[in-house]
């Protein structure tokens, strides 16, 4: 039963949500809207469960003095301070102390950390591009040449060399790039539809512990 009930719920929800999109039947729409409300409630409980799990794992690491346990203390303190200040602002409708603390944390901690992550991501992208842009065959040579054209068309030195580079860069971004993106989106959409049908029909049961 513990495998049949989740399978029945998944099939029931999938059929009604798909039928709501294609059929304009009041009963189907009412059931689908009710399912959406229940999904919101389940997501809220899942978030609370995730928060509790974060506290449990980090507290165990702190108590057992595992490697880098000091950072876990900072994590929990920052989480509690941010949550308390945010709830204070919400409950007291713009409390000055809570608002000041929440704004300070956002602009002086969260915002710089996000900028740092994007900065590190730029280095990873540059490293991946260096490994990928090697003219080993025709496909990689085409990718390398298009990347050079786009970079030359986007920087001032390319415009200083010739006005042709910005036009070529725009053409590459509008024509081949857009065509490739559409192909990727169409392929991903077909894949999502296929996986959804397999789950609804019971062919794909990986969510049932690999059955």
What pLDDT does 186 receive? 94
What pLDDT does 183 receive? 92
Q: What is the C-alpha separation between 197 and 16, in angstroms, rounded? A: 13
Q: What is the pTM for the complete model shown?
A: 0.57
For residue 191, what are its two tokens? 């894949």
Cα dihedral 153→122→108→93 (10° resolution): 80
pLDDT in tens, the chain (211 residues): 667 787 788 888 888 888 888 888 888 888 888 888 988 999 999 999 999 999 999 999 999 888 888 999 988 998 888 888 877 776 666 666 666 778 888 888 888 888 888 888 878 877 777 776 666 777 777 777 888 888 888 878 877 888 888 888 888 888 888 888 999 999 999 998 888 888 887 777 776 665 4
Q: How far is CA 190 from CA 13, 15, 106, 184, in A?
A: 20, 18, 40, 10
């Amino acid at each position: 039963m513990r495998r049949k009930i989740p399978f029945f719920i998944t099939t029931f929800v999938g059929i009604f949500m798909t039928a709501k999109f294609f059929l304009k039947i009041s009963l189907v729409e009412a059931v689908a809207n009710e399912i959406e409300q229940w999904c919101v409630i389940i997501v809220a409980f899942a978030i609370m469960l995730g928060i509790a799990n974060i506290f449990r794992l980090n507290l165990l690491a702190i108590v057992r003095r595992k490697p880098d346990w000091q950072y876990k203390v900072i994590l929990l303190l920052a989480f509690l301070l941010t949550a308390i200040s945010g709830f204070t602002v919400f409950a007291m409708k713009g409390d000055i102390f809570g608002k000041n603390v929440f704004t300070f944390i956002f602009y002086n901690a969260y915002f710089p950390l996000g900028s740092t992550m994007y900065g590190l991501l730029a280095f990873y992208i540059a490293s991946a591009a260096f490994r990928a842009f090697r003219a080993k065959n025709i496909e990689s040579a085409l990718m390398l040449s298009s990347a050079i054209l786009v970079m030359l068309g986007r920087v001032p030195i390319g415009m200083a060399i010739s006005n042709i580079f910005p036009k070529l860069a725009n053409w590459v971004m509008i024509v081949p790039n857009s065509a490739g993106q559409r192909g990727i989106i169409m392929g991903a959409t077909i894949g999502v539809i296929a996986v959804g049908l397999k789950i609804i029909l019971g062919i794909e049961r990986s969510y049932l512990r690999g059955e």
